[in-house]
Structures are given as C-alpha cells and as structure tokens.
Amino acid sequence: MRDFSFIDLNIMEYDEVLTLQKSLVQKKTNGDPTDYIIFVEHFPVITLGNKSSDLNMLADRGELAKNGVSISRTDRGGDITYHGPGQLVCYPIINLKNFRTDVRWYISKLEEIIINICLKFGIQATTKPNLRGVWVGKEKIASIGVRITKWITYHGFALNANTNLSHFDLIIPCGLSGVKMTSIQEITGNIVDIQALKEITKESFSLLQVKIQR
C-alpha cells in the first residue's frame, strides 16, 4: 500500500495550480518518489482542453466578464468545462509505474473513487459507456480530464458539491449537447461541508491501491 501526500490549496486561480502541477511532475520525472494529490477550489474559470471546440462556448467575453468568469486554455484531455467555488477539484500527481501502466484503468479508478464519494452522501452514481465522468441518472456530477507524461499523471477530476450550476449554461459541458450538470447539494438539498468532503475523498483514494503491474 502506497501513501499519498495530500496538498490542500483551499481556493486558487487555475493557472497558478497548473504551474504547481507541472513543477511536481518535473520533480517526479527527476526521481521524486512521492505521489501527490492536490485538493483545490478554483475561482470561476472555463477551461478548454486539447479537444475543445470554440463552438461549445455559448457566451462571449463580455458575458463571461459580467459573470466573473475567466478563460484558460490548458493541456489536459477532453473538451470544455467549468471550475468554480463549491467544486472539489482533485489533481493526482502520481507515477503509474507504481500502480498500473494502463490509462483506461487509471480513468476507471478515478470514476470508481468519485462513485464511492457519492455513496457517502447517499447518491447512487454511475458511469456511462464511451463517456468519461460520473453521472446521476441523466445528469453529470463530475468531470474527468487528465494528461500523462512518462506515466506521470496530472490534471484529474472535478466533483460538483455546492457549485454554481448556472455557470455551466455559459458552455456546452464537455462538448455534450443537452447534458445537464448536477451537484451533491442539488441532489440532497444540503450544503456540503467541503472539509468533510476532502476527508471522504482521501479515504476513497485507497481504491487506487493495487499490486504493482508493469
């Protein structure tokens, strides 16, 4: 069983955290054995992944500014998404050589972790065939977008807890027309204690532990 070093950044700008992720990736590339997991909430931002299309942006820059939302192009996989306060974003910076060198396995494990977190709130979440992320019925509660270099991961997943869901109306989330986003608060009717959510998430990362397979 491997131990993780959890880094809690509270709330921080997206680009600042991306810079930190890349610095940790470089450390691990240079031999740092520590596996890091970053917890953060971002100030309102729309991020464009390496498969994103401008057609999935529904608001112009004026409307974004009016809503206090910035834009950031990034190098993660996937399409367009939104990050903001009340959303727990998790960035594992780990070496898959210590786990399993299988991208599909890794993404499915992240989905399993999210599903386990949702269960702690009495929410039955699932995956959908050929679609990344985690769903509750027809609504999406969490998005996944990763990048892996030399088997070292960065970026990760975003789980909607107390998120301002109206900001998703500014985009076509993940490029999936007609998809409605949801949150733990929306489903349960209760405001989520983010610190308690982080502790549940820490426990759920035990699901990532496997016998090393090379």
Respond yes or no: is residue 118 known to be catalytic.
Answer: no
HEC readout, the chain: CCCEEEEEEEEECHHHHHHHHHHHHHHHHCCCCCEEEEEEEECCEEEECCCCCHHHECCCHHHHHHCCCEEEECCCCCCEEEECCCEEEEEEECEHHHCECCHHHHHHHHHHHHHHHHHHCCCCCEEECCEEEEEECCEEEEEEEEEEECCEEEEEEEEECCCCHHHHHHECHHHCCCCEECCHHHHHCCCCCHHHHHHHHHHHHHHHCCCCEC
- Catalytic member of 40, 48, 174, 181: 174
Q: What residues act catalytically?
A: 174
